[in-house]
Amino acid sequence: MLRAARALARRFNVQPYAALRLDKQLPAASGIGGGSSDAAATLRALAALWNQPLDPDDVMQLAVSLGADVPACLDGRPVWVGGIGERLDPLPALPPLGIVLANPRRELATGSVFGARQDAFSPGERPRTTFADAVALIGLLRECRNDLAAAALQLMPEIATLLERLAALPGAHLARMSGSGATCFALFPDRAAAARGAALLTAAAPGWWVRAGVLLSTPPPVRRVGA
């Protein structure tokens, strides 16, 4: 947040006056873009506070300088990400699938995971197919892989247990690791099924961080930062 605020102040050539308060609800170093979303929220809030709307190109250049996930968090809608995070290809609204996120409440530094990685990265090209419904999206995801999963499992073997428990929940379509870990997720038919799965997982592993939700099914209107 501080890096984002200072970078934005330099971009606008203004004194960085603001009182920032972070109410952190996501585990730190958990592979779900928590810090990146904090930075994106800071950019939006301060651009509005300082009455300085940004050109979209400026937004992305500034965002990617803060972190690879910041542009996608700033965009705030379903996108296919390319490059190191600076290429965003908008996607249609996602099917309203339920999702359960789970983390063993152990930090896993992204740098350590990249350092332990040995295999080559996937090409990263967007598949030519599109998804018209939940079945198509799940089929597409089954063909994808997380290139950091093997390295993360090497550093934190309990991720395997996390994935197994998520996959075994009633109604779970598939389970995968998010980002560089250690957070993992499972997709469900709807929000209600996800909520039931989250309750079962919380009861079985009360020490874990577990949350249920739904995929972003309706993209928000595109707005200029600060508008």
Structural domain boundaries of the chain?
A: 2-90, 98-214
String of DSSP letters for 28-80: TTSSS-HHHHHHHHHHHHHHHHTT----HHHHHHHHHHH-TTHHHHHH-S-EE
Question: What pLDDT is recorded for position 89?
Answer: 86
Tokens of 141: 């995801």
Question: What pLDDT is recorded for position 83?
Answer: 79
pLDDT in tens, 143-186: 888 889 999 999 999 999 999 999 999 999 999 999 999 999 99
pLDDT grade for 24, boundaries at 50, 70 and 90: confident
pLDDT grade for 108, boundaries at 50, 70 and 90: very high
Quick one: which of 5, 90, 85, 91 has its CA closest to 40?
A: 5
pTM: 0.86
Find the length of the chain.
227
Question: What pLDDT is recorded for position 91?
Answer: 83
Q: 89: which DSSP letter? A: E
| Whether the predicted pLDDT of 224 surpasses 60 | no
Mean pLDDT, all residues of the chain = 88
How far is 98 from 195, CA to CA, in rounded Å?
8
How far is 43 from 70, CA to CA, in rounded Å?
10
Quick one: which of 167, 192, 204 has its CA closest to 96?
A: 192
Alpha helices, DSSP H, located in the chain: 2-12, 34-49, 56-66, 70-75, 110-116, 134-143, 149-155, 158-167, 191-204
Distances (CA, A) of 91 to 81, 126, 140, 209: 10, 11, 14, 29
- Please give the CATH architecture assigned to the domain spanning 2-90: 2-Layer Sandwich (3.30)
Tokens of 181: 């870990």
Contact by Cβ (8 Å): 203, 64: no
* End-to-end Cα spacing for the chain: 20
| Whether the predicted pLDDT of 220 surpasses 80 | no
| Whether the predicted pLDDT of 227 surpasses 50 | no
98-214 CATH, one of 3.40.190.10, 3.40.630.30, 3.30.830.10, 3.30.70.890: 3.30.70.890
Are domains 2-90 and 98-214 of this chain identical in fold?
Answer: no
pLDDT in tens, 59-93: 888 999 999 899 999 988 888 888 778 888 888 88
pLDDT grade for 222, boundaries at 50, 70 and 90: very low
Coil, strand, or helix at residue 198?
helix
**Element spanning 174, H or E:** strand 174-177
